[in-house]
Amino acid sequence: MNISDVKKELSGDEKVLESVFKIETLYKKYKFVIWAIFLGVLFYFIGKSVTQNIQQSKYEEANDAYLILEKNPDDAKALATLKEKNPTLFEIFSYTKASKNEDIKTLTALQKSDNFVVSDGSTYVQGTLEKKQVDSTLYREIAILDDAYLNIKAGDIKSANEKLELIDEDSKLYTLASLLKHSTLKGKK
């Protein structure tokens, strides 16, 4: 080995030591920031994991309560658990039960739900049970048929036909609307 090789090797070692000293200086200067970022990221992932586990546990308890309610709809403990752990599923269960039992009081309360499907469905079912005309987004065409039928029963053939014209030819309910229109023609004779 000659002197130039030794100088190159020492020069390389000096550069490595110089880099280490720069890193050490930066670390000493920003050590609190580095640790804060590290701990922040660590706590974020730990918190996210804990939150997901808690949410999963709530869903599992709500599902268990729902399964109990399918067998026994009047189980007070299961109702309370479902309401606490998953309010949306509780509203859907209440809507289904109220529709089946024709419980107008519960349907009226559910009309104020933040869940659009529950509120609109409750409005429609209550209107149908009370034989009132209802404006429903989800059950729009069925509501039109119901309204037309009520108009036919009341003898208002003109209004019934106007409502039945609102059902598009591409609709699956068009055939039924046509039959209702046909029945209004027979009623005129």
Under a CB-based contact definition with an 8 Å cutoff, are residues 148 and 177 in contact? yes
> What pLDDT band is residue 78 in, cutting at 50, 70 and 90?
very high
45 or 181: which carries more pLDDT confidence?
45
Q: Which of 145, 132, 136 is nearest to 171 (CA)?
A: 145
Residues 6+ apart with CB under 8 A from 129: 102, 104, 107
Q: Residue 66: how many CB atoms within 10 A of its CB?
A: 18
| pLDDT tens-digit series, residues 125-147 | 998 888 887 777 778 888 888 88
Asked if residue 63 has pLDDT above 60, the reply is: yes
Contact 91, 118 (CB under 8 A): yes
Task: Please say whether the beta carbons of 99 and 107 come within 8 A.
Answer: yes
Give the Cα separation of 149 and 155 in Å (integer): 10
Q: Six-digit token pair at 82?
A: 């479902």
Q: Is residue 47 pLDDT above 90, yes or no?
A: yes
Query: In Å, how far are 105, 154, 172 from 161, measured between CA atoms?
Result: 33, 13, 18
Average pLDDT over residues 102-110: 91
Contact 163, 147 (CB under 8 A): yes
Within 13 A of 38's CA, how many CA atoms are on the CB side?
6
The neighbour count for residue 111, using CB atoms within 10 Å, is: 16
Q: How confident is the model at residue 43 (pLDDT cuts 50, 70, 90)?
A: very high
pLDDT at position 189 is 40
- In whole numbers, what is the pLDDT of the chain averaged over residues? 85
Count of CB atoms within 10 A of residue 149's CB? 17
Of these ranges, 17-31, 115-129, 131-145, the one predicted with the greatest mean pLDDT is 115-129
Taking a C-beta distance cutoff of 8 angstroms, is the pair 107, 132 a contact?
Answer: no
- The owner of tokens 């804990």 is 50
Residue with tokens 């706590």: 43
Which pLDDT does position 186 carry in this prediction?
52
Is the pLDDT assigned to residue 16 strictly greater than 70?
yes
Say if residue 1's pLDDT is above 70: no
- What average pLDDT does the segment 47-67 reach? 91
Give the start-to-end residue ranges of the domains of the chain. 14-85
